[in-house]
Structure 1
């Protein structure tokens, strides 16, 4: 397999900038939109179940079929295109759910559109992960996933900050009557739809995929003679025969993504209650709007940090090991999530986001770099999709239990959900030390 130059790697990964732009808009504003449409804080995690549920179902299926697809667009690119168009449509419709409430309440329509957006993002996202492993030799995969993480960070910063920029610098209204989404959020989603479609279109136009004949020449002896497909049921067989390192990474992913889900769902109500002193049920005041915009800024900061940190991760991994670099990054994120409880002023909130950004940057690259070293080439797509189970399952667990914990254990105080997230992030840091990394240095460093 030929080495790719930096420009080729950049073009191949550029679509992720658009995906993450839309994903950041969703992460920073979905809870705010659902609360505007009438959702209670303790029910937010249930609405957010749309993301992991669709991911658990969609990604292995897309991975399975994209491994077996080849047409005039290529192997992975047809899925990019369909995912981009559907995600753009969902971005346009979600903040306008209140306008299409003919048969159902707006909060249910919003939840349905959130599910459509998540399913569409998953259709586009999983083949992007597999594309890096398809086109790059193992020696370049850490670089490839790090470039992806950098572009993810750039897209996420822009998507997270856009509502604030439109409100504070472009004069777009940031408040609206009860039950209506502010104009700055609506316009941000429109812009996000255009950027997402354009970025994925750029990757489709500029990136060449290897044909099945070319890929057969790259495969180790015997690997091209893979067992014939038994249809989608073969996904379950592949799940039961996954490599040991993949199972070990599954525990790391469980703790990591349980923490991330808590952060995404509960940061807006936590900051509104704990820092801005917003009363429960208040979703139309200027203080609630300021809290929501501040969360966008905070999410932009951690994504910006992750973008810069992604460029440093390959060097850190070479100097230590992949898993040591990942453990250090997760530890920084866990400690900074715990720090949020002790902050009472908005200005201080930016500092913990640095540690969260280090963890996020590593989560988006190091597990995939470690995983791709132990996967068979002809099943890269399906195993990348199956690996998504270890991302979606902890989110489903959190979605079912998180709201109950906040209501009955934390007395409705969402800030404690962020503290819980910090503990889980630290558990992930410990778990990664026991992963068998096939290519990285194997030493355990405490």
Structure 2
């Protein structure tokens, strides 16, 4: 039995490999995406309820971002490594699927443990493991579509992923409410997690593992030789561009940037030590120092003529990213800065501004928290349906224009949570759902066409830096901004987030992309 998807037989070359990657049946594309249903249940439970869990265990609003930093830090380190390893290895179970299984197993365990944590630091550690585990599966899932689908089908493939992400987000967001309706308590005494969350996370863990296992068992992968044959046979302009090897910069390029990063990182550390900056900044400072050291290491490696290895290869690939990827990364940064701010602060913003309470043991806090879950549920439900309209919309007005319009709608919707009463939150959630569907689909549809098949996982992992880095920025500076600039009003963080997201629409102007012919 082969691990290679069936060929259509119409474009076979004399060496037995098809010349061009064939269209896959719709059912095969659906099977490839089902696992995202479970992964997004995990993300939804985490995003909508982690701050509530931390608050219930005694965290203050201005320290919430610090507890959210553990997962992004792990993701920053692991995602490119997972991408690199999945590019370089092939097993009897495939190239990407072993990582699906490992991530799903660890995430399921973390979901069960997190709401049963007896102390705040244990809950934060569980979030660390959960976020890292979800990313172990998510990054190879993105490369999976790029591996298996041709240019014509990629937007549809990522849209189907968005469909299941929306469905999983809706289910994950509603699980605590459904548990409450079946009699589970939605409030608890101080320093205790409500039963509604414990039950929701338990069911979420089961659904996550089952759906990822379904994709593993029903999907196949092209082996590396076949992918190489596809790449070599593609004589389109896109294919030619992917095969161009961008020269690695001279050692001095890495050394100069490494020294700059090292100086910035050390300066940030001194600000924390002297008390000029809050301690959250130390995490970001340490990462900047680490980047500087890696760049200097790569300069020394190049000077010595040593083989690249994994670290050297990642540094080289980081330096030689395609222009489209570099500019699209800035748009990705603005989108995820906004959404991470939403996830961290929405519960506190809504309960304090609209329900007038910061007491997690009060009935008003419980009602406000359910209103927050409903925002997550509605925007996930909208994303579920809207994702199927994305291929139609991009054909009508163009991929970039459709993407920019969604970012403008999303930014205004973030701001409207501040302006609207709770009775109109559904309207805000619709706009957030539209942009969420597009963020999950369009960057990857743009990016996949520019990436060589042999480094798809590596580049997707590097691209995911720009999901993680904005999370680190929010986690390290937003607490300070909240207290010193926004007067402690958490609702205003959503206004800032909306403005940053709309900036992304302007940055799209500078992303060089032309729709491929016949795509």
Above 0.5 in TM-score?
A: yes
SS in 2 for 1:220: helix
Which residue, 305, 310, 314 being the options, matches 1:235?
314
1:126-275 mapped onto 2 (5 Å cutoff): 126-167=139-180, 169-220=181-232, 230-275=309-354
Structure 2 distance, partners of 1:66, 1:46, is: 31
Structure 1 distance, partners of 2:368, 2:481, is: 23
Q: Which string of whole-angstrom CA distances, capped at 9 and with x for unpartnered residues, describes residues 323-356 of structure 1?
A: 1110000100111111111123x22111111111
Residue aligning to 1:429: 505
Question: Considering only aligned residues, what root-mean-square deviation do their CA atoms show, in Å?
Answer: 1.7
Q: Unmatched 5+ residue regions in structure 1?
A: 99-105, 442-446
Q: Which string of whole-angstrom CA distances, capped at 9 and with x for unpartnered residues, describes residues 362-407 of structure 1?
A: 0001000000011111110000000011111111111101111112
SS in 2 for 1:231: helix
- Over 3 Å counting, the alpha-carbon distance change for 1:234 and 1:416 in structure 2 is same
Structure 2 distance, partners of 1:309, 1:55, is: 28
The offset of 1:433, in angstroms, is 2.3
Residue aligning to 2:515: 439
The offset of 1:432, in angstroms, is 1.2
1:76 aligns with 2:90: no
Structure 2 distance, partners of 1:216, 1:266, is: 46
Contact 1:91 1:189 (8 Å CA) reproduced? yes
Structure-1-length-normalised TM-score: 0.94
Structure index of larger Rg: 2
Residue aligning to 1:444: none
Contact 1:321 1:440 (8 Å CA) reproduced? no
Contact 2:341 2:497 (8 Å CA) reproduced? yes
Q: Which string of whole-angstrom CA distances, capped at 9 and with x for unpartnered residues, describes residues 168-221 of structure 1?
A: x21211111111110011100000100000000000000011112222221126
Contact 1:373 1:438 (8 Å CA) reproduced? no
Structure-2-length-normalised TM-score: 0.81
Residue aligning to 1:374: 450
Residue aligning to 2:255: none
Contact 2:334 2:500 (8 Å CA) reproduced? yes
Structure 1 distance, partners of 2:243, 2:98, is: 23
SS in 1 for 2:94: coil
Structure 2 distance, partners of 1:386, 1:209, is: 22
Residue aligning to 1:364: 440
Structure 2 distance, partners of 1:38, 1:417, is: 21
1:26 aligns with 2:41: no
Residue aligning to 2:9: none
The offset of 1:165, in angstroms, is 1.6
Contact 2:154 2:445 (8 Å CA) reproduced? yes
Contact 2:72 2:132 (8 Å CA) reproduced? no
SS in 2 for 1:410: coil
Structure 2 distance, partners of 1:29, 1:159, is: 10
Q: Unmatched 5+ residue regions in structure 2?
A: 1-20, 234-239, 248-306
Structure 1 distance, partners of 2:333, 2:42, is: 24
